[in-house]
Chains A and B, each alone.
Chain A
Amino acid sequence: MSTVDDPRERLEFLQGTLEVLILRCLQSRPNHAYGITQFLEQQSGDEFLVDNGSLYPALQRLLQRTWIAAQWKTSPNGRRARYYRLTPAGRKQLVVATSKWQRFVEAMGRVLAPEG
């Protein structure tokens, strides 16, 4: 929906990637939904476009698996927002998922690399 006014085609998330990225985003500090969106778009050099229709369900799924926890807090600029933070289980999951993704990316790279 929100791609309508953006002429550049951005990357869509592969199944399950958004969850890992959210975990990574929350690794340094707790954050709210808007903050997570900003973080992911900036860190990816605006390659990723975070769709709210995907973000919120992903957050719900992470909550269900107790990899993250949510809490209403006041932001530094005085707004109330729902902050998400990593749980110990989430931290463990991030390690597992990261190494899996790195292996996946390397493998993809090897396959896709030009021969020679």
Chain B
Amino acid sequence: MRAWWSKVCAALTGRRDLVDDLNAEIAAQLEFEIEANLARGVPPDEARAAAHRRIGNLTRIQERAREAWSFPSLETIAQDLRYGLRGLRRSPGFSLVVVLTLALGIGANTAIFSVVNSVLLRPLPYPAADRLVWLGESDPKAEGISVTWVNYQHWRNENHSFEEMAGFHTTHLTLTGRGEALLTRAGTVTSGFFGLLGAKPLLGRVFGEADDRPGAPLTAVLDYRFWVDKLGANANVVGSTLALNGQPYEVLGVLPPEFRFFEQSIDFYLPLHRMQGDILDRGGHGSMRLLARLKPGVTLLSAVADLDGIMRRLAEVDPGPESQHRAYGVFLSEYRTHDVRPTLLVLLAAVGLVLIIACANVASLLLARGTARSREIAIRTAIGAGRVRLARQLLTENLLLAGLGGIAGGLLAQWGARVLIATGPRDIPRIAETTFDWRVLLFAAAITLLTGLFTGLAPVLTAGRPDLVSALKDSSRSATGRGGQASRSAMVVAEIAITLVLAFAAALLMRNLIAAQTGNPGFDPEHVLALELVLPSSSYRSQQAIQNFHDRLRQDLRALPGVTAVGAVNCPPSAGDCGDWFYSILDQPAPQPGEVPISLFNTADRDYFGAMRIPLREGRPFAENERPSVAIVNETFARKWWPKTSAVGHRIKSGGPYRNGPIYEIVGVVGDVGQMGLGTEPYPEIYLPFSQSQSEAVVVMIRSAGDPQSLVSAVRGRVAAIDRNLPIQSLRPFAQTVVASLAQRRFSTVLLALFAALAMVLAAVGIYGLLSYWVRIREHEIAIRMALGAPRPVILRWAGWQALRLSLIGAGIGILAAWAASRWLEDLVFGVSARNYTTLAAATVAVIGVAMTAAAIPIWRATEVDAVDKLHRA
């Protein structure tokens, strides 16, 4: 402490006195030494010389004595920085390459991280969001099933784990009376919903307990965007009414602009009343899920166990087909990001690997420069620079380079993140909210520092013990060459290995995407115009009304010129899970209550399969006015139960053996279509005839002889002619929808391919640099060999073998790593095995090819060494 204080005083009062004192003192000592030597009878000249030798290196003494009085870190860092900047200016080309390489690596990482941060890391914008939980029911076969109203009441009233619980689902309603009829999307929620999400109304009020009661007046709370866009931000909106599905709803309030819960945009919120007839039926499922907040300190596991206890008690009191049902809970933040998490993590890992390659390249460059600078370092050592001091200076220089790279990378990342947001798929939640907050800045700073240390340490370690004599004597021969060469070779091997992993991953995803795009999807999306309609239940109250509408629509559309077929379906291919349900096969043994199988249920009309060119494998398609109780199943379904025999004629019971449900006879088998998305694993599916169970939501597939786009206005006209108030949900060529459904996969594939390409370029630069250097320091050796009669092919083989050896070792390690990493890629290739030999072989060939191409120039240069000239000069 006292020493520290005296340093402060010294720093404040200036150190000139100290230096003067020291110089005078040393001068005095010199005189003492000379005197002593003379006294021993040494001749005067020699006495003086011996005294000087005895005193030693004056500068070093001064420097070290001064260090005792100073804060060495701060002062020498400033000095090192000055040296460093001078060094950067001296070789601007080198500095530029290093800074650019690092900027690319750091920028790409920061950009991807900023997306990961926004989508996965940043807490959801709700109070105590880390305790918000998404709840559903589960049975042994499925998780996240909708919660029935009865169960919700029991859970809400009897649990000990949650502060608050609310139910929600979404629905479509038609808004009329304000110009053109408009299909709107409503969030149907119980009153606790807004409190859970901390939403305070901008105008008016949100729902209270009273709005939950059966028979409460019809009310609505408006979303901000809907209020601004559709109602002109009318300040007097509270108290007015909206005509939804023909019924008046009183507007209670308007939500603030930042409020958002559902992934789709919502126009307004309606109170969620219990559904009719559900009050006693524990199995009456709708599509309600629950949002709940855990009490502080309660774990999700114990909370779900708490609800499970309630479910077990209910099963005893009121046994039924759902006695096996339990609760399913997942944190809201995880529920939201479940689909994109693996993709983003793989991308983050990939871009991290690119950074490692960039680091290796920069370290390699610095090593090479360290060799070139060995003379400078030797001189510095000779005039008294300590090892530690030199190492610190080299490290400072490298950190300075990394810092510049980091700053450039930060700018690059800002731009990159904007591109990612603009081109990224819309269905990644919260991707649009990507900003550079403190987490991103901290991340960028951390990787910059790590990069600086990583790239800086290798040259520092090899520069640690320069061989003074040889370095000073001969600047062309490196003093640190061998050690540096070995570490640079290791880095090139690592680069090749990493590049191979990235190339494999990118190739795998690309192959998968191409297969999804070009493979047979089970239907023909070309020349098909898809018309999506939702019939409002207010104007289409009866099955007959719906049936009449569809009959007329199909008839009218079929009459359009250029239309070759018109078919309707409830859930088109790639639309995802539009509804699955339990079933059993009547002539098979009944499954255990927990083992009841599940299938997708879809509805289609007579011409759907024909219009979509989905092949009929067995039996017959639906007939016009199909008799009830028939079904068509897909191939996967048929193979699952009757792998050897025909499925036609067997009977299916909907709901399984333990629930009430209709029985259907299988009349036909059709080919599989990727219901969950192109190229996905097929799933058992049951089609029911449209005439049996009319659905309000329908997609009409219109196959045309020519460009489907040309039919758009004619189709619009026909729909309006039948029902002027019917909003068209969407009308576009189905091929476009199919392509759009691949957006997320295309996004990750393009990014991975980009990273792999970047890695290849960097690795190519790396091996090029290494081999050029290898050739340069061996020019002598090559010249001698040539002079001794070694023909060019021998030199070529010798140099080529160097490159090939590194490539092969790198590729070997890369193959093992790629194989190990393939497990992480399974999530990204949708059920297709990631262990694909062809892809791995292709990636290996490509990477070795790139490496050898990059090596070709230096190898060729080795054979061009002019032996005579070289030896002459030596």
Contacts and interface: CB of A to CB of B under 8 A. Distances in A.
A64 B32 contact: no
B130 interface: no
B318 interface: no
Contacts of B54: 2
Interface in B22-61: 22, 24-26, 28-29, 31-33, 35, 53-57, 60-61
A1 B25 contact: no
A79 B24 contact: no
A63 B57 CA distance: 22
Interface in A71-102: 72, 77, 79-82
B21 interface: yes
Contacts of B60: 53
A64 B7 contact: yes
Nearest to B57: A1
A104 to B, nearest CB: 23
B716 interface: no
Given A79-B31, A82-B28, A65 B55 contact: no
Given A64-B2, A64-B6, A66-B2, A51 B28 contact: no
Contacts of B57: 1, 53
Secondary structure of the B side of the interface? helix
B61 A53 contact: yes
A32 B28 contact: yes
A9 interface: no
Nearest to B4: A64
A56 B53 contact: no
A115 interface: no
A64 B25 contact: no
B28 A80 contact: yes
A33 B32 CA distance: 10
Interface in A20-63: 32-35, 37, 51-53, 56-57, 59-61, 63
Contacts of A37: 29
Contacts of A81: 25, 28-29, 32
A59 to B, nearest CB: 8
B64 interface: yes
A53 B7 contact: no
A72 to B, nearest CB: 8
Interface stretch (B65-73, B172-180, B355-363): B65-73
A52 B384 CA distance: 14
A82 B28 CA distance: 8
A64 B29 CA distance: 22
Contacts of B61: 52-53, 56
A5 interface: yes
A53 B56 contact: yes
A67 to B, nearest CB: 10
B28 A52 contact: no
**Interface size bracket, B side:** 20 to 34
Nearest to B55: A52
B72 to A, nearest CB: 11
Nearest to A59: B65
B3 interface: yes
A18 B2 CA distance: 20
Interface string B1-23: 01100110000000000000110
Contact of A65 (B2, B32, B56): B2
A60 B53 contact: no
B32 A60 contact: no
A13 B242 CA distance: 94
Contact of B67 (A51, A57, A65): A57
Interface string A1-22: 1101100000000000000000
Contacts of B2: 64-66
Given A1-B56, A52-B56, A53-B64, A64 B69 contact: yes
Contacts of A80: 24, 28
B132 to A, nearest CB: 59
**Chain A: number of interface residues, binned into ranges:** 20 to 34
Nearest to B54: A2
A28 to B, nearest CB: 19
Contact of B65 (A34, A56, A65, A82): A56
Given A1-B57, A2-B54, A2-B56, A57 B68 contact: yes
A2 B3 CA distance: 30
Contacts, number: 76
A71 to B, nearest CB: 11
Given A2-B53, A66-B2, A79 B65 contact: no
B828 to A, nearest CB: 57
A89 to B, nearest CB: 9
Given A1-B56, A53-B60, A64 B28 contact: no
Contacts of B53: 1-2, 4-5
Contacts of A57: 64-65, 67-68
A35 B72 CA distance: 30
B69 A82 contact: no
Nearest to B9: A64
B21 A82 contact: yes
Contact of B33 (A32, A34, A51, A66): A34
A70 B21 CA distance: 10
Contact of B22 (A1, A2, A56, A66): A56
Max chain B C-beta neighbours (<10 A), residue from A53, A63, A70: A53
Nearest to B29: A34
B29 A60 contact: no
A31 B439 CA distance: 60
A17 to B, nearest CB: 17
A2 B49 CA distance: 12
Contacts of B55: 52
A60 B68 CA distance: 6
Nearest to A55: B61
B380 to A, nearest CB: 16
A39 to B, nearest CB: 13
A2 B57 CA distance: 9
A82 B25 contact: yes
B32 A79 contact: yes
Contacts of B35: 77
A51 B56 contact: yes
A52 B26 contact: yes
Contacts of B7: 64
Contacts of A59: 65
Contacts of A56: 22, 25-26, 61, 64-65
A4 B53 CA distance: 9
Contacts of B32: 32, 34-35, 79, 81
Contacts of A61: 3, 68
B65 A60 contact: yes
- Interface centre among A2, A37, A56, A80, by most B CB within 10 Å? A56
Nearest to A65: B3
A51 B58 CA distance: 12
A64 B68 contact: yes
Nearest to B67: A57
A34 B54 CA distance: 11
A116 B698 CA distance: 102
Contacts of B28: 32-34, 79-82
A1 B56 CA distance: 6
| B33, B60, B68: most-surrounded residue (chain A CB, <10 A) | B68
A63 to B, nearest CB: 8
A66 B69 CA distance: 13
Nearest to B60: A53
A66 B31 CA distance: 28
Interface of A: 1-2, 4-5, 32-35, 37, 51-53, 56-57, 59-61, 63-66, 70, 72, 77, 79-82
Given A61-B3, A64-B69, 10 more contacts: A1-B56, A33-B25, A34-B28, A34-B33, A52-B26, A53-B60, A57-B64, A64-B7, A82-B24, A82-B28
The 4 closest A-B pairs by CB, nearest first: A60-B68, A34-B32, A56-B65, A64-B3
5 contacts: A56-B61, A66-B6, A72-B24, A81-B28, A82-B21
Interface of B: 2-3, 6-7, 21-22, 24-26, 28-29, 31-33, 35, 53-57, 60-61, 64-65, 67-69
